[in-house]
Structure 1
Amino acid sequence: MTTPPAEPSHAWDDRYRKVSIMNRISDQDWLPRAGLGVTALAALTLTGCASGEDLELEDDESTSHDEGAEEAGETADPQGAADEDGAGVDEEDLDADPTGAAEGDGDAPEEDDTASAGPLDPDDAIEAIAYEVPGESSSTIDVGLHDLRVEDDVMLLELSFTGDFAGDDAKNIYTMFSRTAVYPELNDRENLTQYTVIGDSHNRWATDSTNSGVQYESGQTAPYWAYYPAPVDDIETIAVTVVPGAVEFEDVEIDWDGNEHSDVEDGE
């Protein structure tokens, strides 16, 4: 067999130099590429950090804005929240019918058919007497008789006094009658029985005719009422003396209103 010739030594040296040169070239190419890779990686890292911070800032601003809006909403419309909960009250509803709640709680009390029910109209008087006040020629009083009726064990007299006097000063019943307290008397002359107002002094069952009574101007009507014991005799009429010797209504009919005199009730 023929042996191939050996390569000359200078050829090996040339090959070695070529390989070394190629390796160095490869190493030099890798270094810039590696540097570019590191630079790009660092840039990406910084960009990622910046983006994360921006996102956190945006989230914080969004949260703050939402919280501010909620607080502003609660402050701006507290009544709206109350209305949603059913706690809101409309003032117009409160003012619409202030008496509505009271309706149906009970019937109104019936008017008391007595002297305290209200002022008396002098035109409704059964009879009237014009009384000239002694010592005061310019002062007169129209005394009206309105009613005399029996109510169980008592008898009610209703009168009216309409004064006509000079000056602008108001007067009560006491000063109308020239400083005289008025307590009419009921006289049963047939049975010689006199009935006076129940009570004594300031405890009389009658309109206050003292100087502390209600004041009336000229032309105004003062209502008057008084209670007496019911007649003990079976009588139909009686004399009503308002001012002894001056103002007296004779033969005034008594309205028994279904009541009986005391003699019948006692079985006499």
Structure 2
Amino acid sequence: MKRSLALCAAGILALSAITGCTSSTDEAPSNAPSTEGTSASATTQAPSAESKTPTAAVDTSNVIATKEFTVPGHKDDKVTVGIQSLKVEGKTMTLQYVLTPDFASASDSAAISIYDMFGNSSPRTTLVDRENLKEYSVISDVGRTWAADSVRTSTANHEPVIWWGVYAAPEDGNESFDIRVIDSMAEFTDVPVTR
């Protein structure tokens, strides 16, 4: 009996070790936009603040509206936000926007993460439905968010990078939303929903 228990415990330990190596907590949902090519450091350790960050070209030609905000706690550092799309697919809706840092406190070659752009915080972008008095937040669960990794996704100063987030599809067939990217900046109003 003791031998059976020992073998069972060893089997459970071995199974735990094998399955522990394939954790899916870092994987993006299958319908999330690809982060491949948005930043060289998106899947690796963040480079040092002064190293040159190689970035893939970000297409900014499809930006439909832009605004600028001052980085919280850094009065000379600014970020330009360019909304690209708000697209419904099935039960989810994906928002994508371009962030371009303009940090006076950093060199042109400095690596700046999305986390840095939001004053050492992750974006908490909200979609506002004023007509039906509802707000939509990024889909999340304990330790997991359906959005671009704000710490690992970075770019060089003055170079654009893409942020994306996945939300529940609108409950009321909305044609547009107001988008609150950060509280210190005016909302984008009437951003159209595409289907």
TM-score bracket relative to the smaller structure: 0.5 to 0.7
Gaps of 5+ in 1: 1-111, 257-268
How far off its partner does 1:201 sit? 4.8
1:158-188 Cα distance to aligned partner (Å, 9 max, x none): 1110001132332211111211210211111
- AA aligned opposite 1:230: A
Q: Percent identity?
A: 34
Verify the 8 A CA contact 1:199 1:205 in the aligned structure 2. Answer: yes
Q: For 1:185-196, what aligned pairs fall within 5 Å after superposition? A: 185-196=126-137
How far off its partner does 1:147 sit? 0.3
Q: d(CA) in 2 for partners of 1:163 and 1:115? A: 22
C-alpha distance 137-245 of structure 1, shift in aligned 2 (>3 A): closer
Partner of 1:115: 33
Q: d(CA) in 2 for partners of 1:217 and 1:190? A: 39
How far off its partner does 1:149 sit? 1.0
Partner of 1:70: none
Larger RCO (CA under 8 A, 6+ residues apart): 2
Verify the 8 A CA contact 1:141 1:161 in the aligned structure 2. Answer: yes
- Aligned: 1:127 with 2:68: no
Which secondary structure state, in structure 2, belongs to the residue aligned with residue 122 of structure 1? coil
Between Structure 1 and Structure 2, which shows a larger proportion of helix residues?
1
How far off its partner does 1:123 sit? 3.6
C-alpha distance 219-245 of structure 1, shift in aligned 2 (>3 A): closer
Between Structure 1 and Structure 2, which shows a larger proportion of strand residues?
2
> Which residue, 123, 145, 166 being the options, matches 1:182?
123
Q: For 1:20-31, what aligned pairs fall within 5 Å after superposition? A: none
How far off its partner does 1:247 sit? 4.2
CA-based RMSD of the aligned residues comes to 2.1
Verify the 8 A CA contact 2:83 2:98 in the aligned structure 1. Answer: yes
- Aligned: 1:154 with 2:95: no
Q: Which has the larger radius of gyration?
A: 1
- AA aligned opposite 2:190: D
1:179-213 Cα distance to aligned partner (Å, 9 max, x none): 1210211111110111110113531110012xx32
C-alpha distance 201-128 of structure 1, shift in aligned 2 (>3 A): farther
Which secondary structure state, in structure 2, belongs to the residue aligned with residue 246 of structure 1? coil
Partner of 2:48: none
- AA aligned opposite 2:74: E
> Which residue, 149, 152, 156 being the options, matches 1:213?
152
Q: d(CA) in 2 for partners of 1:206 and 1:132? A: 22
- Once structures 1 and 2 are overlaid, which stretch shifts more, 128-137 or 185-194? 128-137
